[in-house]
C-alpha cells in the first residue's frame, strides 16, 4: 500500500501534528495557500512535494509554482488545483483519477463520474469552526481511497 499525503491552506503554519500525520508518505501534494517557501522545504524533508499556487501565495517563490499540476504516481494520475471552481477540464475524460484542491478549508472526499475529489481541509490556522486537517490517499491493489486526518486528534510528533 502506497500512502500519498494531501495538504492545503497552511497559510504559513506547519504544525508538528501535520508532520506526524504525513510521516511515511511516499509523496506529498500541497493544494495551495502555502504561506512561504519554508513550508515546502519542511515537507520535502518527509517526501517529494508537488505544490500549486493558491490565491494567497505571492512573491517570486510563489510565482514559480504552477496553478495546476498533473502528477503520475505509478498508474495513478492526480491533478492538483487550489480552487476547484477554476477547474476547466473534464478530469474523467483526461484520465485523471484524483483531483486535489483546497481554498474552502472544508475537508471533502467525494467520488463523481469515477473521479475521486479530495479537499484535505486546512492544515494552517483554524478558520471559524472548521477542522484542522490533512488527508491521506492509500493506493494499492488497483484501488485508491482517501481519508481525512483530524490534526487536533493526531498524535504529537517526537521532539
Domain-located, residue 156: no
Domains of the chain: total: 1
Residue 52 lies in a domain: yes
In a domain, 157, yes or no: no
Other beta carbons within 10 Å of 151 = 21
The beta strand positions in the chain, using DSSP E, are 2-7, 27-30, 49-51, 68-73, 76-81, 98-100, 108-112, 115-119, 133-140, 143-150
Per the structure, the complete domain to which residue 88 belongs is given by 2-150
| All cell numbers assigned to 87 | 477547474
CATH number for the domain including 59? Answer: 3.60.21.10
> Residue 7 burial (CB < 10 Å; 0-12/13-18/19+)?
buried
Q: Is residue 16 part of a domain?
A: yes
Q: Is residue 159, in this structure, part of any structural domain at all?
A: no
Q: Does 75 map to a domain?
A: yes
Assigned domain for 158 exists: no
Would you write out the chain's pLDDT as a tens digit for each of its 159 residues? 899 999 999 999 999 999 999 999 999 999 999 999 999 999 999 999 999 999 999 999 999 999 999 999 888 999 999 999 999 999 999 999 999 999 999 999 999 999 999 999 999 998 878 899 999 999 998 899 999 999 986 444 444
Amino acid at each position: 500500500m502506497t500512502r500519498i499525503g494531501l495538504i492545503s491552506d497552511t497559510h504559513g503554519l506547519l504544525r508538528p501534528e501535520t508532520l506526524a500525520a504525513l510521516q511515511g508518505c511516499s509523496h506529498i501534494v500541497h493544494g495551495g495557500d502555502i504561506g512561504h517557501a519554508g513550508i515546502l522545504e519542511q515537507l520535502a524533508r518527509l517526501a517529494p512535494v508537488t505544490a500549486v499556487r493558491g490565491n494567497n501565495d505571492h512573491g517570486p517563490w510563489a510565482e514559480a509554482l504552477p496553478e495546476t499540476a498533473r502528477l503520475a504516481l505509478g498508474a495513478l494520475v492526480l491533478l492538483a488545483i487550489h480552487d476547484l471552481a477554476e477547474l476547466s477540464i473534464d478530469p474523467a475524460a483526461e484520465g485523471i483519477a484524483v483531483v486535489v484542491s483546497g481554498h474552502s478549508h472544508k475537508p471533502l472526499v467525494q467520488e463523481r463520474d469515477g473521479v475521486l475529489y479530495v479537499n484535505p481541509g486546512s492544515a494552517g490556522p483554524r478558520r471559524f469552526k472548521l477542522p484542522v486537517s490533512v488527508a491521506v490517499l492509500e493506493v494499492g491493489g488497483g484501488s485508491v481511497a482517501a481519508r481525512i486526518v483530524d490534526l487536533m486528534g493526531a498524535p504529537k510528533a517526537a521532539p
